[in-house]
Amino acid sequence: MTLFSWEAELLPLGVSMVLGGAALYKFKRSQSRTVSSLVVLCHSALLCLWGAYCFSSFSVFWSWILFALACCISLAYSTSQEMLPVDGRAVLITGGDTGIGHALSKHLDELGFTVFVGVLNEKGSGAEALRKSCSKRTSVFQMDVTDPAQIKEVQARIAEKVQHTGLWAVINNAGVLGTLGDGELLPMNIYRQCMDVNFFGAVEVTKAFLPLLRKSKGRFINVSSMAGGIPMKLYAAYSSSKAALSMFSGVMRLELKKWGIKVAVIHPAAFRTNIGGTREMWEKQEKNILENMSPDVQEAYGQDYLRSSTWPLLQYFSKTTTDFSPLFTDILHGILCKNPSALYTAGVFSYLWICLLSFFPISVFDYISHKIFHSNTLPKALT
């Protein structure tokens, strides 16, 4: 091999290494705030393995072509994942009294956002805690998402505050669990309550704040649930309302693209919040269901079925994690990423459940779901 031919082979290899290095640097730089180092490491390893395969299996020319193409694709992907600076961007969070909305408000305040928080009770302990612990950049407003008048008033006050900087993001987080139980047993008022808060409330907020986001070309982040993506026993009212929110998010993502507004939906799973309620609340809900049962339904299910089938979930709720960091990572990515994902699945096994439902026969999903969430409790008529 002559010196010239040796240099000719080193040149494409060097160019490929420069492209690969640039892609990996860009990827690590853009993702460092939201993705763990393990993801960056996996991305780097895959690119290196692809390069090794190319140079061991093809001629130098085709190796360079294939590896450079992979680097260019990687570079294009990492560019779309670039994170925008906080720069005091203004965000609105609904349902900030407790749970995810409360903790998220504090988290975004610490990161330097201008935070507007809608609460169900502006004189409650949750609202007072936010005023005490957050900076002056955070404002708390009375905003029941089922009250159009309150939403309209908050919209006007926020529009006045952000007339120069604009409102960057709306996080539709407010939600209720309602009552759990077999769909046949749940009173219609529970279905209506879940739809009013989880779905119609988010739609009302979205429509009210769209003009402000149109100016900033911002984004909507809708907090749905894993139960809104897969069917779950005993969650008929809650799951239906969250599924409606997820579908609404997808439609709005397509329709608002022409305005430069991005929409993302979050499917959290297994995070401990106050949405599960207390033992006293469950007793009250159980009494309400039993009193509204028709005689024939009560005869079929029996007096003890509801408690024995649903109350074990109280134990489940108490064992879920209070670490919201995976969820906040996804929400922050949705807020600041140059090209956010359409769907984020935060929590234990949430993405695996969606894959199971999407790519396997329904019979497989039903079998696994039945095995994992199996209950020995049966209605009276079946025992």
The DSSP-derived string for 182-228 is -TTTS-HHHHHHHIIIIIIHHHHHHHHHHHHHHHHT-EEEEE--GGG
Number of domains in the chain: 2
> Do the beta carbons of residue 260 and residue 212 sit within 8 Å?
no
Helices marked H in the chain — which ranges?
3-31, 37-57, 60-80, 99-110, 125-133, 148-161, 188-194, 201-216, 236-256, 279-292, 295-301, 305-310, 312-319, 325-336, 350-359, 362-372
Instruction: Read off the pLDDT of residues 238-249 as tens digits, 9 standing for 90 and up.
Output: 999 999 999 999
Flag the least confident range among 30-34, 214-218, 286-290: 30-34
For residue 383, being part of any structural domain is answered with no
Query: How far, in Å, CA of 211 to CA of 167, rounded?
Result: 10
Residue 4 has pLDDT above 50, yes or no: no
Q: Please indicate whether residue 238 is annotated as part of the active site.
A: yes
Q: What is the pLDDT of residue 16?
A: 55
> Do the beta carbons of residue 304 and residue 49 sit within 8 Å?
no
Look at 255 and 227; give whichever has higher pLDDT: 255
Look at 274 and 265; give whichever has higher pLDDT: 265
**Which residues, listed in sequence order, are joined to residue 266 by a DSSP beta bridge?**
223, 344
**Residue where one domain finishes, among candidates 25, 50, 80:** 80
- Assign 283 a pLDDT band (cuts: 50, 70, 90): confident
Residue type, 200: F
CATH number of the domain bearing residue 203: 3.40.50.720
Q: What is the pLDDT of residue 373?
A: 78
Residues 60, 113, single domain; the answer is: no
3-state secondary structure of 349: coil
Residue 220 has pLDDT above 70, yes or no: yes
> Do the beta carbons of residue 379 and residue 305 sit within 8 Å?
yes
Residues 188, 207, single domain; the answer is: yes
Residues 57, 96, single domain; the answer is: no
Flag the least confident range among 177-186, 290-299, 309-318: 309-318
Q: What is the pLDDT of residue 1?
A: 45
Query: Among the options 25, 191, 235, 238, which is catalytic?
Result: 238
Residue 169 has pLDDT above 60, yes or no: yes
Q: What percent of the chain has pLDDT over 70?
A: 79
- The whole-angstrom distance between residue 73's C-alpha and the CA centroid of its chain comes to 27
Q: What is the pLDDT of residue 59?
A: 62
For residue 313, being part of any structural domain is answered with yes
Query: How far, in Å, CA of 253 to CA of 236, rounded?
Result: 26
Look at 183 and 319; give whichever has higher pLDDT: 183
Residues 33, 152, single domain; the answer is: no
Residues 95, 62, single domain; the answer is: no
What pTM was computed for the model? 0.80
**Residue where one domain finishes, among candidates 59, 80, 101:** 80
**Residue where one domain finishes, among candidates 23, 45, 80:** 80
Residues 59, 94, single domain; the answer is: no
Residue 92 has pLDDT above 60, yes or no: yes
Q: Which two tokens stand for residue 119?
A: 């609460």
Query: Residue 128's domain spans which residues?
Result: 90-276+302-372
For residue 336, being part of any structural domain is answered with yes
Residue 49 has pLDDT above 70, yes or no: no
Residues 116, 36, single domain; the answer is: no
Q: How many CA atoms lie within 13 Å of 109's alpha carbon, on the beta-carbon side?
A: 22
For residue 85, being part of any structural domain is answered with no
Closest listed residue to residue 227, CA positions, set 266, 257, 254, 197: 266
Look at 169 and 7; give whichever has higher pLDDT: 169
Residues 129, 183, single domain; the answer is: yes
